[in-house]
Structure 1
Amino acid sequence: MTTQTLEKPAKTAMNGVDVPTFLATLGVVGETPEIAKFTFRANGEWLSGTHSRTAFTGFHGAMQEMKHRREYDVECDHPQVLCGTDNAATPVELLLAALASCITAGIGNIASIRQVKLHAVETSVEGDVDLNGILGLDKTARNGFTGVRMAVTIRGDAPQEKLREIVEQSVARSAVFDVLRNGVPISVEMAG
C-alpha cells in the first residue's frame, strides 16, 4: 500500500486579480499588521457656483508616502433644478458611486480568491434625500440620505448560493459600506 499526498492546486490569477500577489500581501500584513494602516487624501477647489474639482495625488500606505501612477480628479456640481450648472455629478451621487465601486471591487477580489470566474457584476444604487434639511426649511429633516438601496446582479461559474456568499462577504468587508452604516468622526477646521 502506498500513501499519496494530495496537493491543492495553486490559486491562479482570475478576473483581472493577481491572486498569488494578493495572497502574499495577506501574509505580509498578517506578519506586520501596521503595514495595513493607510491615510487617503483628497484636495478640493471651488470652480464656480456649485461646481468644484477634487484631486487625488498621493496617500500614505505600507508605512510610506506613495503616489498614484498619475493624478486623478473628479468634478462635482448640482443640477440646474438645484441652482447649479449641471457640469458634473452631485457629491451625493459620487457617494453612491463609491459604495457601488467598493462592493464591486470586493466581489472581484473575493471571487478571484475563491477561484470563481465572473461573467458580469452590475450594481444599481439609489439614495433618498429630503432637501428641506439642506435648505434649512425643516430642522427635523436630515441633511443626508434618509435611505440607500443597492441591488447587485452577479453571474459567474458557481452556484447562486456561492455567488450570494461572495456578495455578502464583500458587503461585510467594504470600507465605504462601513462608513455609511456606522458613521465616522469628522473634524472640520479653518486653515490659513
Structure 2
Amino acid sequence: MSNSKMTFHVETVRLDAHGSLSRCKAAEIPLDTDMAGNPNAFNPAELLLAALSACIIKGIERVMPILKFELRGVEVRVDGVRQDVPPKMESITYEIIVDSDEPDRRLELLHDNVKKYGTVFNTVAPGTQLSGVLRRKG
C-alpha cells in the first residue's frame, strides 16, 4: 500500500467588495465575501456545509461498489448553528435521504462507512457537535 498523501490546491481571488472566486482544476465557485451578504453565492459557512454534504455523497459513491449497495438516489440536508464568541460552527446536523430498497441494517452499514471514512466529515467532527441520520426516502 502506498504511503503517498493526497494533496489539494485551491486559489481564490477577490473580485470586488461583493464577492470572490475560487478555482480548482477546471472548476470555479463564486463566493459570498460581501459583509452585507450576497444571495448569488455561498458564504464561507455555507461552503463548509456544502463540503460536508459533498463528502457524504462521495463517501457513499466510494463504498457502493464495495458493499454492492443499490440505490436510485441520495439527498443530503445540512444545517449549521454559528456561535458568536468565539465565532465557530457550534453544531451541525445532517439528514441523508437514500432512495433504496436495501434492508435497514444495510442502511446503517452505509451510514457507518460515511462516518468512518469521510475526510471532511472527520475534519469537522472533532471541532463541532456533528450529528445526523440516514433514512430511507419515502
TM-score (norm 2): 0.82
Structure 2 residue matching 1:118: 3-state secondary structure: coil
Structure 2 residue matching 1:40: 3-state secondary structure: coil
Q: Deviations over 1:107-146 (max 9, x none)?
A: 122122111211221111010113xx3xxxxxxx121211
Structure 1 residue matching 2:106: 3-state secondary structure: helix
Quick check: 1:172 aligned with 2:127?
no
The match for 1:83 is 36
Aligned-partner Cα distance in 2 for 1:162–1:156 = 10
The match for 2:82 is 129
Larger radius of gyration: 1
Note the C-alpha offset of 1:50.
Answer: 4.1
Quick check: 1:51 aligned with 2:4?
no
Provide runs of 4+ in structure 1 moved above 4 Å: none
The match for 1:27 is none
Note the C-alpha offset of 1:78.
Answer: 5.1
Q: What fraction of aligned residue pairs are identical, expressed as a percent?
A: 26
C-alpha RMSD of the superposition: 1.8
The letter of the residue matching 1:34 is N
Structure with more relative contact order (C-alpha pairs < 8 Å, separation 6 or more)? 2
Choose which of 110, 126, 131 in structure 2 pairs with 1:182.
126
The match for 2:67 is 114
Q: What is the 5 A alignment of 1:1-192?
A: 30=1, 33-35=2-4, 37-57=5-25, 71-77=26-32, 82-130=35-83, 133=84, 141-182=85-126
Aligned residue pairs, count? 127
Unaligned runs of 5+ in 2: 128-138
Q: Deviations over 1:54-104 (max 9, x none)?
A: 1113xxxxxxxxxxxxx111111157xx51343311111111011011111
Please state which structure has a larger fraction of its residues in strand: 2
The letter of the residue matching 2:37 is G
Aligned-partner Cα distance in 1 for 2:33–2:21 = 13
Aligned-partner Cα distance in 2 for 1:124–1:112 = 24
Structure 2 residue matching 1:127: 3-state secondary structure: strand
Aligned-partner Cα distance in 2 for 1:181–1:163 = 21
Aligned-partner Cα distance in 2 for 1:85–1:182 = 30
Residue pair 1:78, 1:86 contacting (<8 A) in 2 also: no
